[in-house]
Amino acid sequence: MNWFWRPKDKVNKRILLRIFLRTYFVGATFNTKGMQNVGFFHAMDPGLQALFGHNPLALKQARARYLKHYNSHPFWAPLLAGIFLSMEQKIAAGLLPAKVLPQLRLTTTYTLSALGDSFFGGSFLVMWSLIAMNFAVLGWYWPLALWIVFCFLALQLFRIYTFARGYAQGLSFLQQLKSWDLINWGQRIKMVNGVLLALFFVHIVPQGFFYLPLWATTACLLALASSWRTMDRLVIFIILGLAGLAVPWDMLCKWLPI
């Protein structure tokens, strides 16, 4: 199946490539009012010109739809561009009223924004950096380089795939995306991140009779805390902080073997 082009479409392969490449720059003109709206409008504009260029008024109205507030995780930009371009094609063909797009756009954008911040920002990118840190502290530079290259290429394939499916299937692709269960996968990755963080601390702490069990215990608590709710972690950290202030460290250090 050819995801990128259908012969009767006004949007050809060259225009789709221009739109996809421009999604890398959605944050280049970030502003406090519309956030990423100018960058996303710039990405969508080749498609809008192809669909509405014969009608200046329709083109002006289509462009105005993308100059309103827009903000989402940048990894979702290709998917959103593909979905909205598919919807714009239906508007141009008279199959979808233009007035329904703004609300659908806001709902889709903000839903994916929350999902992207949770899965990518809060889970996967943290795992990527922790694995890289563990490789670096162990001196495993070739695995580190391969890991960085692998993740970079995997991200590009993800962007290409989601752009293609978003354009081919439109909003219906969101049902498939829901089946990926990224929220729960994000929680699992956070548990892995706790273990990776614990391993990193074990690698960097000083060796010794006192330090080893102390840092091992700390590492276990960090790994365990990765599965706690935010409020539970906050309460535990406050208790530990107050307990640390109450410990007579001057007297304790006189007889500890450190």
pLDDT band at 4 (very low <50, low <70, confident <90, very high): very low
- Checking if the pLDDT of 3 tops 50, the result is no
Give me Rg for the CA atoms of the chain.
25
Distances (CA, A) of 251 to 186, 213, 247, 256, 257: 44, 20, 9, 9, 13
CA distance 76 to 41: 15
DSSP bridge partners of 35: 31, 70
What SS3 class is residue 93?
coil
What would the pLDDT profile of 85-130 be if each residue is shown by its tens digit?
999 998 888 888 888 888 888 888 888 888 888 889 888 999 999 9
What integer pLDDT is reported at residue 7 of this predicted model? 37
- Checking if the pLDDT of 37 tops 70, the result is yes
Tokens 């990776």 sit on residue: 196
Q: How buried is residue 195: exposed, middle or buried, by Cβ count under 10 Å (0-12/13-18/19+)?
A: middle
Q: How buried is residue 136: exposed, middle or buried, by Cβ count under 10 Å (0-12/13-18/19+)?
A: middle
Contact 124, 189 (CB under 8 A): yes
- Identity of the highest mean pLDDT range in 95-99, 130-134, 173-177: 130-134
Contact 87, 101 (CB under 8 A): yes
Spell out a b/e string for 107-135, using b for 16 or more CB atoms within 10 Å of the CB, else e. ebbeebbebbebbbeebbebbbebbbbbb
Q: pTM for the whole thing?
A: 0.77
Higher pLDDT pick, 207 / 31: 31
What SS3 class is residue 35?
strand
CA distance 206 to 208: 7
Higher pLDDT pick, 203 / 196: 196
Amino acid at 230: T
DSSP state of 11: S
What whole-number percentage of the chain has pLDDT above 70?
A: 77
